Homo-oligomer: A and B are copies of this chain.
Amino acid sequence: MVDKAVVLLSGGLDSATTLYIARKKFRCFCLIFDYGQRHKKEIEQAKKIAKLSGSKYRVIKIDLPLKSSSLINKKLAIGRNSQSIPQTYVPGRNTIFLSIALSLAEDMGAKAIFIGANALDFSGYPDCRPEYYRAFKRLVRLATRAGVKGGEIKIFTPLINLTKAQIIKKGLRLGVPYALTWSCYRGGKRPCGKCDSCFYRAKGFRQAGIKDPLLCRQK
């Protein structure tokens, strides 16, 4: 029987690619988070991607009353940031997502958790760096019943050292439906083309020498 894996699916390019990598070896259960993000559109896209991939999914709602992040607090501007860690940073986000994934993984007997974190073409978020994931893996061994009994839930970050162009090329080989993925932080009808997330996406497709199917579709 194929082992189960919990996959964190935001609806963006990276997590969709991660799901298609995970499903080669695991039966995937996708976790989609509704944490009050501005770009709620990504939730609808994530559901479509999960369905298309043949995976089960669940939308988990978390009440996260943060004032400092422009992804949640609409009074703050998204902008593009030259700061090392921009205002779109959601404190503790990946730690929260991973801890809920850990809880569900242990509950359903899944052997793995997949997250599409990426430390190259990214916005400098601390919880996207390899050293953060090393520390989380250590925590997992101590946090779980499985860990106490000598078993383990493995954390996979298959994109951690890839550029956006490499991710896209890999994803195209796996059939990732990029036209369904949503990256823009603003969550309007069309991608704004100006936020950090749009910037890295455009750079990735340009460097991969491929037209972004999301933009093609919308013309």
Which residue of chain B is the closest to A68 with respect to CB atoms? Answer: B107
| In contact, A95 and B102 (Cβ under 8 angstroms) | yes
Which residue of chain B is the closest to A126 with respect to CB atoms? Answer: B148
Q: Given the complex of chains A and B, what is the CA–CA distance between A98 and B142 in angstroms? A: 15
**CB contact under 8 A between A145 and B63, given known A107-B69, A138-B135, A139-B135:** no
* Contact digits for A56-73, partner B, Cβ 8 Å, 1 yes 0 no: 001011111111110000
Stretch of A15-23, A86-94, A184-192 contacting B (4+ beta carbons < 8 Å) = A86-94
Q: Which residues of B contact A106 (CB under 8 A)?
A: 68, 91-92
| In contact, B66 and A103 (Cβ under 8 angstroms) | yes
**CB contact under 8 A between A139 and B139, given known A63-B61, A92-B100:** yes
How distant is A26 from chain B, measured CB to nearest CB, in Å?
19
Q: Given the complex of chains A and B, what is the CA–CA distance between A63 and B148 in angstroms? A: 26
**CB contact under 8 A between A145 and B107, given known A64-B100, A96-B99:** no
**CB contact under 8 A between A142 and B148, given known A92-B106, A107-B68, A107-B91:** no
SS of A interface (majority): helix
Q: How many residues of A contact B (CB 8 A)?
A: 45
Tell me if A76 counts as interface (CB < 8 A to partner B): no
| In contact, A92 and B102 (Cβ under 8 angstroms) | yes
| In contact, A96 and B100 (Cβ under 8 angstroms) | yes
Q: Which residues of B contact A102 (CB under 8 A)?
A: 91-92, 95
| In contact, B85 and A145 (Cβ under 8 angstroms) | yes
Tell me if A144 counts as interface (CB < 8 A to partner B): yes
How distant is A135 from chain B, measured CB to nearest CB, in Å?
4
Q: Which residues of B contact A195 (CB under 8 A)?
A: none
Which residue of chain B is the closest to A59 with respect to CB atoms? Answer: B63
List A residues 85-136 near B (Cβ within 8 Å). 85, 89-96, 98-100, 102-104, 106-108, 126-127, 129, 131-132, 135-136
Q: Which residues of B contact A127 (CB under 8 A)?
A: 142-143
Tell me if A54 counts as interface (CB < 8 A to partner B): no
How distant is A8 from chain B, measured CB to nearest CB, in Å?
13
Tell me if A147 counts as interface (CB < 8 A to partner B): yes
